[in-house]
Amino acid sequence: MRAFDSPAVELDPIPEPAVVRGRAIVITSGKGGVGKTTTTANIGAALAAMGKRVVLVDADVGLRNLDIVLGLESRVKYHVLDVLEEKVTLEEALVRDKRSDNLFLLAAAQTREKEDVVTAQMKALIERLRESFEYVLIDCPAGIEMGFKNAVAGAGHAIIVCTPEVSAVRDADRVVGLLPNSWRPELIINRLRPQLVKKGKMLSVDDVNGILRLPLLGVIADEPGVIVASNKGEPLALDPASETGAAYRAIAAKLAGETVAAPAVLVAPSGGFLSRIGSFFGGRA
């Protein structure tokens, strides 16, 4: 746990005018299969579409998927361990997105193990990326072991992805407890089915966040479009017609500090729960 020790009082970093000093944000959940990778890809694509310089780091060594979700699998030549082991330069390993000049991917090694990554090296790598990118989004592997520790080590902020299920909320709660105390992680509730919540057959946004008590970054509905997008390797955030895409764009805007219609409108657990979730997020600032 040494890696997570943080000073009680955070001092403002001394400004370095020459470099960017972007934000390193880890997307984590504890439980697997709740949509961390899809969330990372979509927030990254949306931020890039806003004109931000973004790099997505796949920290899921051994089980990389971020390249697939982004449709970049055929472009990946090198991975994060090649960089850490100084086989290639960081610039050589970065894959430029085919749709945006602002979006880059640093893939995970597929045939290696999480224990091969040295935490201090990973931290130094994220530091380097922060010098060239405004946003460094780190796709964290499931679990709370070495892979999680490596993914969190270089980050300064966390986004917790959680589905409205008992197991996912429990794991999210555990993960929040493992993050540095000074952090204030933000929550994305993924795969919500408003109709089921209405019928009392699914935990509502209030139920989930009544337990986790985190700032709510957004809510993503469970809809077929997400799977279609994953099939095609096209993040929904780039589809102007998609309501879910609009929700991701709203999340990205909120993350970037823009004023977005409060998702609190969504949390009414019964009655008045409109199924058109995306429309609430559609009104981007």
| Positions that interact with other proteins (CB under 8 A) | 165-166, 169-170, 173-174, 177, 196-197, 199-204, 207, 211, 213
* Angstrom distance (rounded) from CA 83 to CA 127: 14
- Shortest distance in whole angstroms from residue 204 CB to other proteins: 7
Tokens of 277: 């979730």
Closest CA to 6 of 160, 153, 172: 153
Amino acid code (one letter) for 150: N
* Residue number with CB closer to other proteins (196 or 256): 196
* Residue number with CB closer to other proteins (139 or 171): 171
CB distance 278 to 244 below 8 Å? yes
* Residue number with CB closer to other proteins (49 or 172): 172
- Shortest distance in whole angstroms from residue 190 CB to other proteins: 16
* Residue number with CB closer to other proteins (46 or 176): 176
- Shortest distance in whole angstroms from residue 209 CB to other proteins: 12
- Shortest distance in whole angstroms from residue 181 CB to other proteins: 9
CB distance 109 to 80 below 8 Å? yes
* Residue number with CB closer to other proteins (33 or 200): 200
* Residue number with CB closer to other proteins (32 or 200): 200
* Angstrom distance (rounded) from CA 56 to CA 96: 10
Going from the C-alpha of 180 to that of each of 4, 50, 121, 155, the distances in angstroms are: 6, 30, 19, 10
Question: For residues 30-67, b (16+ Cβ closer than 10 Å) or e, as one string?
Answer: bbeebbbbbbbbbbbbbbbbbebbbbbbbbbbeebbbb
- Shortest distance in whole angstroms from residue 202 CB to other proteins: 5
- Shortest distance in whole angstroms from residue 208 CB to other proteins: 9
